[in-house]
Amino acid sequence: MRKCLRCHAEMAENLDIKVQGGAYGIKVTQQGIFKDSLGKLNCAVCPECGYIEIYMEDTDKIKKLMKKENTVS
């Protein structure tokens, strides 16, 4: 359960984010052409104040990417 950072109400979770006029969502990728998707973005909305939070449920690919970058540095 996510709580609103502004008013602390319970938020509606696991909502999709869509580009207006498109049937596809928004995804997170590394910079560059032909990079794999790192995850799907979800949205939570506060029904009281309208605050919107964007988050990723599955962060395993992000963790692996960070480990890889830290070992290269």
CA 46 to chain centre: 16
* Domain range list for the chain: 12-72
For residue 73, the model assigns a pLDDT of 60
For residue 7, the model assigns a pLDDT of 98
Backbone angles phi, psi at 65, to 5 degrees: -65, -45
For residues 73 and 69, give the distance between their C-alpha atoms in angstroms, rounded to a whole number.
Answer: 6
Share of the chain above pLDDT 90, in %: 41
Read off the tokens for 51. 């605050």
For residue 30, the model assigns a pLDDT of 82
CA 24 to chain centre: 15
The conformation of residue 32, written as its DSSP 8-state character, comes to S
Q: Is 46 helix (H, G, I), strand (E, B) or coil?
A: coil
Q: What is the pTM of this model?
A: 0.72
pLDDT by residue, tens only, the chain of 73 residues: 999 999 999 999 999 888 877 767 777 888 877 778 888 889 999 999 999 999 998 899 889 888 888 887 6
Strand partners, 15: 43
